Amino acid sequence: MRVCYFVSEYPAVSHTFIRREIAELERNGISVLRVSLRGHDRRLVDPDDISEKARTRYILDGGKAKFLAALAGAFVRRPRALAKAAWAAIRMMRRSSRPAPFHLIYLAEALVLARWVEEEGIEHVHAHFGTNGAEVAMLCHLLTGVPYSFTVHGPDEFDRPEYLGLPAKVKHAAFVCVISSFTGSQLCRWIPPEAWKKIELVRCGLDADFLNAPPSKSVPKSRLVAVGRLSEQKGHLILLQALAPLAREGLPFRLTLAGDGPLRPQLERSIRELGLQQHVELAGWMSNAEVRTAIREARALVLPSFAEGLPVVLMESLALGRPVVATHIAGIPELVADRDCGWLVPAGSVDRLADAIRQCLSAPDSVIRTMGSSGRARVLEQHDVARECRKLAALFRAGRQVEQAPAESVEAIADVADARGAALVGRHAAITVMRSA
């Protein structure tokens, strides 16, 4: 079976779980075409990501010819489908948080994607995240009839869900994956109850590098690690505030912050102002192997996020036998049981976070080993990428029928729209994208 994976930005340092998923699907006999909107300037540090970039096709790379050819092909071969997709893009403009021309850009991108899907004999398109990538996949489906699905992660889809057109994206999809029960519950808030049957729980999974790695017998005494993009939602500033009183108490510890992002300058200032220079290291992005080493060398992983889906790095830490200190939000409690495989604290509470870290550093090594063992068992039970991808492969192969849109919407416009009008809409979209590229 030939499947297209469409992700707005791929590969990326924070999207290792997508790479693992693709690799496991290919081990299940599914051939995967990787498509992304554009390459990016962020430095890739993992050799596997660098290899993936060479295997990925980018819609916005190159000149104008691909957009014009895709538009001409759609106009000549299926003007009714072009009219349907154009009308769907126009409807997505209503209540959108993005300016109207963006949805015409998505249509132009979908035209290129649709051409590649047909040329490559793709039988299913899958997008990650329910944001603009899911809209492009939906428009590609309307242009080609090839079924599509997408995975909802959170928290981005639920920051402003009323503006994302989630009901339309779900209505046209063959199915929708969610990575946790919490994520599924939030999606249910924004789509009609009759569409809930399309929701499938497919968890993010770890591969053999983590699942088969024997837990370390030694327990580091004072090292902590935090892994994630340096942004406000990860709670790093709260973490520094929680560490400051521990440093004043003379409690020995050293935290490695692995990751980078827009908050780095402010974190550097806070480290100086709080007198944590001898306790906190900003290490930048790490490869998968470096992350595994950093976790193994730490007593626990700390992730005081304000908003999440279900962070993969928590799975990675527990799989390696290291407990976690995390916030009691989103899907995290589905994996982390408080005082069983880590500590859960209220998001934003400096005092509770400081107390949990203090307990972690002061606990007997036997307690840390027991917590790590319990966490590893939970990960093996819930987050084996081989098992989760067997579910996903079965969904792709099932070829579920997508419910047809009611006549009052896209079919009606297709009946009355002439080919010239559809072509003008598509031409406007393509020109808009080329000007923004």
Per-residue pLDDT tens for 180-194?
999 999 999 999 999
The whole-number pLDDT of residue 428 equals: 46
CA-based torsion, 115, 117, 121, 124: positive or negative? negative
Which residues does the chain have with pLDDT short of 50?
Answer: 400-437
The model carries a pTM of 0.89
The whole-number pLDDT of residue 40 equals: 63
Pairing of strands 148-152, 175-178: parallel
The whole-number pLDDT of residue 41 equals: 61
The whole-number pLDDT of residue 430 equals: 42
Query: What residue ranges do the domains of the chain occupy?
Result: 2-205+385-436, 209-382
Spatial strand order in the sheet of 342-345:
280-284, 254-258, 223-227, 300-303, 324-327, 342-345
Q: What is the pLDDT of residues 263-282, one digit of tens each?
A: 999 999 999 999 999 999 99
Instruction: For the chain, give the mean pLDDT.
Output: 90
Q: What is the DSSP string of 263-313?
A: THHHHHHHHHHTT-TTTEEEEE---HHHHHHHHHTSSEEEE--SS-S--HH
CATH domain 2-205+385-436 topology: Rossmann fold (3.40.50)
Domain 209-382 in CATH 3.40.50.2000? The answer is: yes
User: Would you say the CATH fold of 209-382 matches that of 2-205+385-436?
Assistant: yes
DSSP 8-state secondary structure symbol assigned to residue 1: -
